[in-house]
Structures are given as structure tokens and as C-alpha cells.
């Protein structure tokens, strides 16, 4: 990136700028400061070899900030001061990738590698393939776009086609240059891919600090990295010491729009060299070029050991065909490129002893057995409890208390009991007694035919109430900030919370006097709860914790109702008329809204100020002629298109439904109307009108 001559000049310049406390107030000085700060960022974040102290760096940075503050006209968009200056991200907008981010096919053994090699050779016919092999970093994928050498966009992987725009957060990562000299290679526009990671020692330190503050420790580095990339505050992202390692050029064009991956650029290795030279952190030092499967195996064996001491978590190796021309010949399936494969290291297993089994009550009353084991350290985390799923799982694996169990964790978050080592049984093993009564409220447990899970049916079961409350306040539900698991557990213990509606009757004056509460945390809690009263209807529906009703179903249902109480009157057939709702879900919703306790809860919530109505989130209504009325169009319309019809309804304050149900007020019938008309004729409350009558309503 910087050759020796450049580095000497920049070091000389650094010394000059640091020599005095009063720098000349000129645009030129601002340029000089930006240049040296970028250089020191690269030394620090990419090479990990800083040549000035943090104090000196801070001094340069604050000089620049002062200058740019006084003379905003001197500030440039790619100035290092802009890394966190853009403020909070309200929402991560979905954006399309220039080239789909396909996932790699996984392989687990050497036979898979020979298979891969054979397939590649079939594609490229008589030529001998060359492979690049590099460690597979266990982080969060990211795609960056540079135009005219400037970072213009950063996105998460998302579903591979669309990712979330996280540009502001990516700018906060000092290992991502805001300006990179791609133009040196004739590249005007480029999309590059990589992984955002947290080094293992930094991750451990973060957890140590959290433990010391009594906070919950993070599960693993990968999830923490991806979570940190998506916090709404770029400062927060910066504080978590994320690093981006870029390892792939997925798209490159010159100023005329020519595809450079099909012309000037020839190998993957060359692409990584370019990234390295443009100032990115890359796996160039770890990258090996191999000409045979046996050479690849040597590298894999080396890394199978080396990964334990390597500062970044790796869960395997990535093997890519080196020649870009060969890559193109191989092409991709709908899911994977055919020119690359991931080799996964074998899952790590450990032995431990099953000490006891605890039975947890979920929010729907399901009883889950949880194994408490002697703590074992596996793939970077200490494991002391593992879900045993259900009674069948225990019987099938013949797991007993005091058994030696084999615990596995394959890069995934959730550890798993593979089985028991029968040879190590010493006669002290005892059967796991599955309770017949709820461990929380002692009600008799029931197991519906065809289900594997025992449940507690008591609606007032305290353990269920706790889980229901935790679900109610969670991010995907009512999203109540300042009210976590621990808060709920302690409020229940103190008798402040006995049910969901109690959340809206909390005695704040009393809480203020409790240990561990300050004015600030009480007001955060209060704000969070007050804010939640205004949430859209689907959130309340999801928060109720109805079985089988997740976020998507909640949104589907909410779009078809005016008020949550509409669901009290809807039949199973009407519910099933909603797109996406099957018989199981419909039955579950029906059951929920036919339990008097649930309806009482909803009336109580409404009285306490919680939104139970479907309020349009943005009202573009020009007038209110159709306010509160619902419409559906069927048949061939002669006066307007469907899109225009929808627009007319909305502009006049009405709402469009997508199917015939009891909530429909007007069915507007065009020519050749079919099943919808027949269906609507059976529901007396629906008025069937013509296009002309509809037009009269809005004229
Ligand atoms: Zn119970």
C-alpha cells in the first residue's frame, strides 16, 4: 500500500505536525492531517504495527477536528473524522448486491475434496486447475462497494440477493479504508466481500469486563460481531473493536463499464493482492496456491492445529479455483458457486458428566428437560447446561443421571448431547424421572396425543407468566427497552408483576427506592413502557405469545383486521381465508380468542392505553370519505386498473383487503366476477356494489 519512500515522507510529515501546538490554519494543513491519520490508521488497524503513540494520534485527530469544525468547507466526505460523524441509523434499508452472495457448499472429509476436484476438472476439460486455499474466518459477511476510489456502500449478506445497508456502521471500522486506490488498477466500480470479526483475545476481554460489571456474557464472537454491525449507533460499533478482513472481489468494472473480472484481472490470488495493496486487511499472508488435492490436504492438516492458536476464530478452510476464467467456466448452481468449496473442521466433542436434570416451563407451558453438566470448555465457550428437548430424546439416547455424556458443538451456537459412553457406567447411574406435575405450580402435566412434549395447562402458572412477560417485552414483540429478563424475574419475585397487564401499572415511585435502581433507569423503564403503548397492532398480536403465531403470521393477520377484538368474532374458516394462515394456526388463534381470560387481558390492556387498533402507520389520505371502511375489488374493472383502485381507496382513507371475510364492508364487482362474489353473497354484512357506485362514494 505505502512504499518505503511514501512511508518516510509520511513519518517526516507526522513529526512536523506534532512538533508544534499551533498549526497554520489552512486547507493544506487539513489535507496533510488527513493523509497522516489515514496512514497511521492503516499501520494500527491493518498491520497492527503502530509507529506513534495513542496520545500522538489523538493529538493529530483533534487538530483535524478543530480545523474542520472551524472551516467546514475544508472537510472532505472521506475524512477520518467522518467515520462516526453520521449519527444514528434509524433503520437498515435493504439493498441489492451487485452479484448474488451465494453460500459455499460444505465438505467434511477428503473424499469430498476429490469429488470437488473431479467436478472442476470436468468443467475445465484438459487443463490443470490451480486452487487457492485460505482459512475460513468465523464472522459476519459484508459486501463493500467503492466507486471512483470512495467507499459508497456497505451491506450485510442478508439473503444473498438483498442485504441491509450498514454503510454508517462500516465507516466506523478503521480497518475499512474510506478511500482506496482501485483506480491504480483501472477499476472504477468494485464490489468486494469479506468478513467482520472480533479477535478472540478482544472478545474474551469484553466478556471479562461484562462479567465484572455483572452483565450477561456474549455467547460467541461471530454473533457478537454481527450484532455489533447492526447496532443503531456507529459509536457503539466502533467501541467493540470489530475488524473487516476482505478476501474477494466479486465485481469490478472500468470507467467504460467493462467487466474487468472477465478481462484484465486473471486470478483470485491477484485480486487479494490488489485488496492488500489498496489498504485492506486480507488473508494474503495465509493464502496458499495448490495444484493437487494432496497439497490442499497438507494445508488443511497444518491449519487443523494452527487454528487453535490463531487469533481469529476459524471453522474451516475455503478452497477456490484460482483462475477467474476457470471460475467462469464452472459457473454456479442456484445455491453455490461450483468453483469454490468450504472444508469444515470436524466438530469438537468433549466428555462431561451429567449431574442433574432441571425441568423448565416455557411460555406456552411446554416442559423442557435441561441437563446440568460438569462445565466443559468447547470451541471457545464454557458449557454447563444443555437442552435435552423432550422425554423421547432422553429415552432414545438412554441418558441417565451420572452418565458420561458426549457433548458436541460444531461452530453452531447451541451445544448438543450426542450420546452417552456406556462403557464408563459404574453402577451409580439413575433413570431421569420425568415429572408428572408442573415444577412451578404443581398442576398435573398433560401430553396431547401425537405430541412429544408435556405441558402445564394452568393459565396462572408463575413460570409461564414469567416466560410470557419476557416474550411480551422482547424485540420482535412489544420491544420494551429498559425491561430485560432480570428485571422481569425480580419484579415477579417482589410481587410487582403477576400478569402482563401489571407492566402498565408498575409503581415507579416504589421501584425508585429499590436496590440497583436509579432515577435514570426508572425513567428509561417508564419511557420504554409508555412508548410500547403506541406499537402497531401486529406487535401486540405477536406479543400475546399465541402458539404458532410468529412475526410474519402476526403481520398477515393484523393487515386483515381493524381491531384486535375482531378476532373474537372470526371463525376458523374466516381466519383460514387470510393468506398464509393454515388450519393449525387458525385453530390456535381461534382457541386463544375464545378463552375469556385472554379477552379480559386485552380489554384491560386497552383500558391501560395500549393500542389495540389497526392505525395506518402513514396516512396519505387526502380526505376521509371512506374512513374506516374496507374494500375488495373483483372481476374485470372497466373504469380503472387495480393499482388505481387501491390508490383511490387509500387516498380517501379506506383500506383494501385481500380476501372476503366478515371484516369486509364493500365488494366492488366488475365483469365476470367469480368465487369472491359467491363467497361475499353468503355474508350478509358485506355490501356488493358496482364500479359506478364506488365512484359515487368518493366523488
Ligand atoms: Zn405450571
With contact defined as beta carbons under 8 Å apart, do 467 and 489 qualify? no
CA of 360 to the centre of ligand 1 (A): 10
Residues 526 and 543 in one domain: no
The pTM of the full predicted model, rounded to 2 decimals, is 0.54
The percentage of the chain sitting over the pLDDT mark of 70, rounded to a whole number, equals 96
Mean pLDDT of 437-449: 91
CA of 460 to the centre of ligand 1 (A): 8
Q: Which residues are bridge partners to 672 per DSSP?
A: none
- Tell me if 554 is assigned to some domain: yes
* Rounded-to-10 torsion of CA 137, 288, 100, 168: 50
Give me the CATH number covering residue 368.
2.40.50.140
136 labelled catalytic: yes
Residues 370 and 340 in one domain: no
Dist. CA 567–CA 671, nearest whole Å: 32
pLDDT level of residue 570 (50, 70, 90 thresholds): very high
Give me the CATH number covering residue 640.
3.40.50.10190
Mean pLDDT of 416-424: 87
Final residue of a domain: which of 325, 344, 363? 344
Give the model's pLDDT for residue 133. 97
pLDDT level of residue 413 (50, 70, 90 thresholds): low
Dist. CA 221–CA 229, nearest whole Å: 12
- Tell me if 271 is assigned to some domain: yes
CA of 70 to the centre of ligand 1 (A): 65
Residues 213 and 288 in one domain: yes
Give the model's pLDDT for residue 620. 45
- Tell me if 184 is assigned to some domain: yes
Final residue of a domain: which of 344, 368, 393? 344
DSSP3 helix / strand / coil % (the chain, rounded to 5): 40, 20, 40
Residues 191 and 247 in one domain: yes
- Tell me if 621 is assigned to some domain: no
Mean pLDDT of 290-306: 92
Residues 258 and 359 in one domain: no
- Tell me if 98 is assigned to some domain: no
Which is the catalytic residue, given 121, 136, 344, 513?
136
Using one digit for the tens of pLDDT, what is the confidence trace for 450-466?
A: 778 899 988 788 899 99
Residue 99 has pLDDT above 70, yes or no: yes
Residues 153 and 269 in one domain: yes
Mean pLDDT of 664-682: 86
Residue 324 has pLDDT above 50, yes or no: yes
- Tell me if 675 is assigned to some domain: yes
Give the model's pLDDT for residue 205. 85
Residues 275 and 326 in one domain: yes
Residue 220 has pLDDT above 80, yes or no: no
- Tell me if 452 is assigned to some domain: no
Q: What single string gives the DSSP state of each residue in 128-173?
A: PP-EEEEEEE-SEEEEEEEETTEEEEEEE-TTSSEEEB-HHHHHT-
Dist. CA 668–CA 317, nearest whole Å: 60
CA of 373 to the centre of ligand 1 (A): 25
Dist. CA 675–CA 129, nearest whole Å: 60
Domain that holds residue 19: 4-83
Residues 227 and 325 in one domain: yes
The percentage of the chain sitting over the pLDDT mark of 90, rounded to a whole number, equals 49
Residues 414 and 299 in one domain: no
Residue 73 has pLDDT above 70, yes or no: yes
Residue 618 has pLDDT above 60, yes or no: no
Give the model's pLDDT for residue 619. 41
Q: How far apart are the first and last CA of the chain?
A: 68
- Tell me if 439 is assigned to some domain: no
Mean pLDDT of 599-623: 80
Pick the residue with more confidence: 382 or 328? Answer: 328
CA of 443 to the centre of ligand 1 (A): 6
633 CB-contact burial (10 Å; exposed 0-12 / middle 13-18 / buried 19+): buried
Which triple of cell numbers denotes residue 569? 368474532
Residues 491 and 517 in one domain: yes
Residues in contact with 43: Cβ distance below 8 Å, sequence separation at least 6, in sequence order: 49, 50, 51
Q: How many residues does the chain have?
A: 699
Calculate the average pLDDT of the chain. Answer: 88
Residues 77 and 202 in one domain: no
Give the model's pLDDT for residue 403. 95
Q: Which residue has the cell 466500480?
A: 189
pLDDT level of residue 504 (50, 70, 90 thresholds): very high
Residue 236 has pLDDT above 90, yes or no: no
Residue 121 has pLDDT above 80, yes or no: yes
CA of 581 to the centre of ligand 1 (A): 29
Final residue of a domain: which of 50, 83, 116? 83
Dist. CA 244–CA 137, nearest whole Å: 10
Number of structural domains (the chain) is 6
With contact defined as beta carbons under 8 Å apart, do 126 and 180 qualify? no
Give me the CATH number covering residue 495.
1.10.150.20
Dist. CA 65–CA 59, nearest whole Å: 10
CA of 461 to the centre of ligand 1 (A): 4
Residue 134 has pLDDT above 70, yes or no: yes
Residues 307 and 420 in one domain: no
Using one digit for the tens of pLDDT, what is the confidence trace for 455-497?
A: 998 878 889 999 999 999 998 899 998 888 889 999 998 989 9
Amino acid at each position: 500500500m505505502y512504499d518505503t519512500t511514501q512511508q518516510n515522507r509520511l513519518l517526516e510529515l507526522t513529526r512536523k505536525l506534532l512538533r508544534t501546538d499551533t498549526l497554520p490554519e489552512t486547507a493544506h494543513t487539513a489535507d496533510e492531517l488527513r493523509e497522516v491519520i489515514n496512514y497511521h490508521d492503516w499501520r494500527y488497524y491493518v498491520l497492527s504495527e503502530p509507529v506513534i503513540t495513542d496520545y500522538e494520534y489523538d493529538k493529530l485527530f483533534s487538530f483535524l477536528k478543530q480545523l474542520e469544525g472551524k472551516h467546514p468547507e475544508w472537510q472532505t466526505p472521506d475524512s477520518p473524522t467522518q467515520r462516526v460523524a453520521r449519527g444514528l441509523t434509524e433503520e437498515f434499508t435493504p439493498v441489492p448486491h451487485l452479484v448474488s452472495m451465494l453460500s459455499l457448499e460444505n465438505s467434511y472429509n477428503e473424499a469430498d475434496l476429490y469429488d470437488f476436484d473431479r467436478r472442476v476438472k470436468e468443467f475445465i476439460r484438459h487443463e490443470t486447475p490451480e486452487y487457492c486455499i485460505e482459512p475460513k474466518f468465523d464472522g459476519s459477511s459484508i459486501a463493500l462497494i467503492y466507486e471512483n476510489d470512495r467507499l459508497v456502500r456497505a451491506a450485510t449478506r442478508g439473503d444473498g440477493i438483498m442485504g441491509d445497508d450498514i454503510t454508517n456502521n462500516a465507516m466506523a471500522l478503521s480497518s475499512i479504508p474510506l478511500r482506496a486506490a482501485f483506480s491504480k488498477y483501472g477499476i472504477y466500480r468494485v464490489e468486494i466481500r469479506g468478513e467482520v470479526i472480533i479477535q478472540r483475545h478482544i472478545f474474551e476481554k469484553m466478556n471479562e469486563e461484562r462479567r465484572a460489571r455483572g452483565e450477561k456474557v456474549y455467547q460467541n464472537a461471530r454473533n457478537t460481531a454481527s450484532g455489533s454491525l447492526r447496532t443503531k449507533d456507529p459509536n457503539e460499533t466502533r467501541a467493540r473493536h470489530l475488524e473487516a478482513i476482505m478476501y474477494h472481489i466479486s465485481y469490478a468494472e472500468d470507467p467504460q463499464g467493462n467487466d474487468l473480472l472477465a478481462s484484465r484481472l486473471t486470478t483470485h490470488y491477484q485480486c487479494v493482492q490488489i485488496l492488500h495493496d489498496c489498504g485492506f486487511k486480507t488473508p494474503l499472508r495465509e493464502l496458499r496456491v495448490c495444484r493437487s488435492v494432496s497439497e490442499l490436504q497438507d494445508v488443511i492438516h497444518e491449519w487443523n492445529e494452527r487454528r487453535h492458536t490463531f487469533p481469529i476464530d476459524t471453522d474451516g478452510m475455503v478452497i477456490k479455483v484460482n483462475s477467474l476464467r476457470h471460475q467462469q467456466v464452472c459457473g454456479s448452481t442456484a445455491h453455490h458457486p461450483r468453483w469454490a468449496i468450504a472444508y469444515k473442521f470436524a466438530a469438537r466433542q468433549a466428555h462431561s458428566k451429567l449431574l442433574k436434570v432441571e425441568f423448565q416451563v416455557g411460555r406456552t407451558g411446554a416442559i423442557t428437560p435441561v441437563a446440568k453438566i460438569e462445565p466443559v470448555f468447547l470451541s471457545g465457550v464454557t458449557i454447563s447446561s444443555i437442552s435435552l428437548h423432550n422425554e423421547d430424546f432422553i429415552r432414545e439416547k438412554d441418558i441417565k443421571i451420572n452418565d458420561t455424556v458426549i457433548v458436541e458443538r460444531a461452530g453452531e451456537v447451541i451445544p448438543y448431547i450426542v450420546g452417552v459412553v456406556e462403557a464408563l457406567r459404574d453402577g451409580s447411574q439413575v433413570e431421569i424421572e420425568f415429572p408428572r406435575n408442573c415444577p412451578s405450580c404443581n398442576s398435573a402435566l398433560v401430553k396431547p396425543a401425537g405430541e412429544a412434549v408435556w405441558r402445564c395447562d394452568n393459565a396462572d402458572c408463575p413460570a409461564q407468566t414469567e416466560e410470557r412477560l419476557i416474550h411480551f417485552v422482547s424485540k420482535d414483540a412489544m420491544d420494551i427497552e429498559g425491561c430485560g429478563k432480570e428485571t422481569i424475574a425480580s419484579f415477579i419475585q417482589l410481587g410487582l408483576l403477576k400478569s402482563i397487564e401489571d407492566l402498565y401499572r408498575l409503581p415507579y415511585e416504589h421501584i425508585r427506592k429499590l436496590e440497583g435502581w436509579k432515577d435514570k433507569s426508572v425513567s428509561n423503564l417508564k419511557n420504554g413502557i409508555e412508548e410500547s403503548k403506541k406499537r402497531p397492532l401486529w406487535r401486540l398480536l405477536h406479543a400475546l405469545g399465541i402458539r404458532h403465531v410468529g412475526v410474519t403470521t402476526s403481520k398477515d393477520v393484523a393487515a386483515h383486521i381493524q381491531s384486535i377484538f375482531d378476532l373474537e368474532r372470526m371463525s376458523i374458516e374466516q381466519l383460514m381465508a387470510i393468506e398464509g394462515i393454515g388450519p393449525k394456526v387458525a385453530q390456535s388463534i381461534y382457541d386463544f380468542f375464545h378463552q375469556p381470560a385472554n379477552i379480559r387481558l386485552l380489554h384491560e390492556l386497552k383500558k391501560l392505553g395500549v393500542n389495540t387498533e389497526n392505525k395506518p402507520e402513514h396516512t396519505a389520505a387526502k380526505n376521509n370519505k371512506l374512513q374506516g371502511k374496507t374494500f375488495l375489488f373483483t372481476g374485470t374493472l372497466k373504469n380503472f386498473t387495480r393499482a388505481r383502485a387501491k390508490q383511490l381507496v387509500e387516498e380517501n382513507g379506506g383500506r383494501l383487503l385481500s380476501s372476503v371475510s366478515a371484516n369486509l364492508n364493500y365488494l366492488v364487482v366488475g365483469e365476470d366476477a367469480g368465487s369472491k362474489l359467491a363467497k361475499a353473497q353468503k355474508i350478509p354484512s358485506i355490501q356488493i356494489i358496482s364500479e359506478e357506485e364506488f365512484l359515487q362514494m368518493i366523488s
